[in-house]
Amino acid sequence: MSLLEQIGKLKEEALGELAEASGAKEIEAWRIRYLGKKSRLNDILRGLSNLLLDERKEVGAGANRLKAELEKSLSQKEQALSRKQIESAGEEYLDVSLPGRSLPVGRLHPVTQVIDEMSQIFISMGFQALEGPEVEWDYYNFEALNIPKEHPARDTMATLWVDYETDGGDRPMLLRTHTSPMQIRVMEKAQPPLRVVVPGKVYRYEATDATHIPMFFQIEGFAIDKNITMADLKGTLYEFSRRFFGRDRKVRFRCDYFPFVEPGVEMAIECAVCKGSGCRLCSNSGWIEILGAGMVHPKVLERVNIDPEVYSGFAFGMGIERIPMLRYGIDDIRLFYGSDLRFLRQF
């Protein structure tokens, strides 16, 4: 029998036997017999060098083809066997060699991170952080802050009113439009000296676009004591800016009007993009307004029985989302609340 004929016969024999083999042991025995070191196929491959060139080519190609075919059939057989094992084991099958499932790691929302960072700065200056109700009485949101019923300042804060079972009196209820009502709630309960910051959600009835959403965050702060002056207001907010935005960022105060302070100011920081020379982000002014502030109005103090002849104080309120937007160059506020993990995972 020529070598080529032997190869053909070997193939028939091997594949026939493999088809019959049923367990892992039998398959392994088959592998040793037909593909092992002492197999007939290996003998043929080793003997190739003794052949004449033409025969060597032919036999060599045939033997290698057979080897590849047997290896392929072996791995198919092994796969079929393990499939069968899994199927017959049903639900009890446990592959302890499988890698574990990795759990996604969560993190704080970027707005929460900024609130924590800001609160921490004020806490280190002696303030305490408090939270207050989001559903609020008209009295705290407007009236006690020196914004009576027909006051035009009400028009600047489009209000979401809450329908509720009236308790007989006329006490309109709303979703707070700013965190300032907490000034009143705190001063009603506690006597000066007071130093408090209040981060929290506020609501306005506004159309949604890249810079407006109906729910956003503010942080309110105020300090009431004897001899508090505008210098304390400026010193505190300067220090905040230095720590939060960096030492070199310029800060500007200008007059502004808010009914619950007198005098009132707005604070702006130098635009980080153009460094004050004017660009699209800062509407060519070189400045970005970040908060409103002022000296607490005597009428507000009187309303909570704090004597404005004895005590004075400053207050400020700042929108939160704008800050990470400026810091990270985010151009659409809606991204914060769209629950898109690709966005949130960046922080």
Instruction: Report the residue from 181, 200, 292, 324 that binds ligand DAH according to the rule CB under 6 A.
Output: 292
Asked if residue 259 binds ligand DAH (CB under 6 A), the reply is no
| Residues whose CB falls within 8 Å of the CB of residue 214, separated by 6 or more in sequence, listed in order | 160, 203, 204, 205, 206, 208
Number of residues that bind ligand DAH (CB under 6 A): 11
| Residues whose CB falls within 8 Å of the CB of residue 150, separated by 6 or more in sequence, listed in order | none
**CB of 289 vs ligand DAH, minimal distance in Å:** 11
Neighbours of 180 (CB within 10 A): 28
Q: In residues, how long is the chain?
A: 347
Tell me which stretch binds ligand DAH (CB under 6 A): 52-60, 267-275, 289-297, 338-346.
289-297
**CB of 214 vs ligand DAH, minimal distance in Å:** 14
**CB of 311 vs ligand DAH, minimal distance in Å:** 16
Asked if residue 317 binds ligand DAH (CB under 6 A), the reply is yes
Asked if residue 322 binds ligand DAH (CB under 6 A), the reply is no
Cα torsion through 270, 272, 277, 280, rounded to 10: -110
Bridge-based pairing state of the strands 173-175 and 135-137: antiparallel
- In sequence order, what DSSP letters do the residues of 210-269 get, joined into one string? TTB-SEEEEEEEEEEETT--HHHHHHHHHHHHHHHH-TT--EEEEEE--TTEEEEEEEEE
Tell me which stretch binds ligand DAH (CB under 6 A): 17-25, 95-103, 110-118, 292-300.
292-300
Segment (H or E) for 42: helix 40-47
Closer to ligand DAH by Cβ: residue 62 or 264 = 264
Asked if residue 220 binds ligand DAH (CB under 6 A), the reply is yes
**CB of 98 vs ligand DAH, minimal distance in Å:** 55
**CB of 145 vs ligand DAH, minimal distance in Å:** 8
Asked if residue 258 binds ligand DAH (CB under 6 A), the reply is yes
Closer to ligand DAH by Cβ: residue 98 or 231 = 231
Residue 197 and residue 287: Cα distance in Å, rounded? Answer: 25
HSE toward the beta carbon, residue 120, CA cutoff 13 A: 8
Sites for ligand DAH among residues 138-167 (CB under 6 A): none
Contact by Cβ (8 Å): 289, 270: no
x/- binding map, residues 112-141, to ligand DAH, per CB under 6 A?
------------------------------
Closer to ligand DAH by Cβ: residue 17 or 232 = 232
Going across the sheet that includes 215-225, the strands are 128-129, 194-203, 215-225, 312-319, 287-296, 261-270, 251-256
Q: At what angle do helices 3-20 and 24-35 cross, to 10 degrees?
A: 170
Q: Which two tokens mark 181?
A: 């009502």
Instruction: Report the residue from 44, 213, 237, 293 that binds ligand DAH according to the rule CB under 6 A.
Output: 293
Instruction: Report the residue from 180, 236, 241, 312 that binds ligand DAH according to the rule CB under 6 A.
Output: 180
Tell me which stretch binds ligand DAH (CB under 6 A): 46-54, 290-298, 301-309, 338-346.
290-298
Asked if residue 178 binds ligand DAH (CB under 6 A), the reply is yes
Q: Which residues bind ligand DAH (CB under 6 A)?
A: 178, 180, 220, 258, 261, 292-294, 315-317
